[in-house]
Structure 1
């Protein structure tokens, strides 16, 4: 009041940090801190990485109210808890079918394609040593050749 007979509102200055909620009480105020923070004014960011949440060799990064895991190439998931299906990366080209085998994959190529990821067009003219008579030409087509 005008003669200081009533205490001021200690929450008026918004002392609680990081989304903490100020609650007035008989001693002044108390901050109700969100998950991930503590301290009188919610000023301490609890390191979520201290519990080592990342699995399978993942690297933990502490974030406000959360953590992020950077996984080794063969793992996925929020905590690197799942082995990545290598076919999820869509390695096979030219409409090939991907077949996962543990942590590896094989591509079943469409006719006319070869290579680890079916990235190479088969040169049937060279492969079959086609030699055309009378200055004819051997032309590759997908899945075969024509003379």
Structure 2
């Protein structure tokens, strides 16, 4: 034993045949040179994705837990809802190193921090509609000629009783203002294209000929 053959804290004992090493816990071999891999034995009780580490020089193992877990064997999912992070009576749902909030209507956001005013902040109303916060959410006051939840639909006034265009005239919606516009065919005028333009107005017939008005035309009775 004077040569101190025992390694890793082993205690040397002189024997009649030579020496014997009394090894520290976790080591074995003639001179205690071999570390016992307790993680490879039934002693490994680490769960999930935790990592087993031998306790050098003492009994047992240590479990190195992944983020979000704790406990001797990493068997406990840490309660990320412990601090009550959800606002406005939101319900916290614990995850693995995370949480989510179930928000009561009309609150939104990661922590239910966005209230009714949140809706109009996103400017949901289109085509010049004005957003108003309501207790149920928001309401869009649409510009004339538009409708829908977000004023996204143009009202086809030409398909309603508002279409008073006559003959072969074409009805066109007045976008953003009331009413329609009638696009008149050649030879007609008036708000509804109801007036046949007087082609005889300039008295085109000579020698006391009588002008007969047509549609974008005239003829003379001589």
Q: TM-score, normalised by structure 1?
A: 0.65
Instruction: For 1:75 and 1:55, locate their aligned partners in 2 and report how far apart those are by CA, in whole Å.
Output: 9
CA distance in 2: counterparts of 1:119 and 1:19, whole angstroms: 51
Give the Å deviation of 1:110: 5.1
When you count helix as a share of all residues, which structure comes out higher? 1
Q: Which runs of 5+ in 1 are unaligned?
A: none
Among 43, 46, 56, the alignment partner of 2:78 is: 46
| Separation in structure 2 between the aligned mates of residue 15 and residue 142 of structure 1, nearest angstrom | 76
Q: Deviations over 1:103-139 (max 9, x none)?
A: 6545464553245532443455657x56445x46562
The answer for the alignment partner of 1:145 in structure 2 is 180
Matches within 5 A, 1:1-147: 1=28, 6-12=34-40, 15-25=45-55, 26-83=58-115, 85-87=118-120, 91-93=124-126, 95-97=127-129, 99=131, 101=133, 104-107=137-140, 109=142, 112-114=145-147, 117-122=150-155, 124=157, 131-132=164-165, 135=167, 139-143=171-175, 144-147=179-182
Q: What does the per-residue CA deviation read over 1:6-46, in whole Å, with 9 as the maximum and x for residues that have no partner?
A: 55122346643344343322222122334432221101223
How far apart in 2 are the matches of 1:76 and 1:45?
27
CA-atom RMSD in angstroms: 3.6
Total equivalences in the alignment:
144
Q: Which has the higher contact order (CA 8 A, sep 6+)?
A: 1
Change in CA separation of 1:17 and 1:46 when aligned onto 2, cut-off 3 Å: same
Gaps of 5+ in 2: 1-27, 183-222
Q: TM-score, normalized by length of structure 2?
A: 0.48
Structure with bigger gyration radius: 2
Taking a change above 3 Å as real, the CA distance of residues 112 and 18 of structure 1, as seen in their structure-2 partners, is same
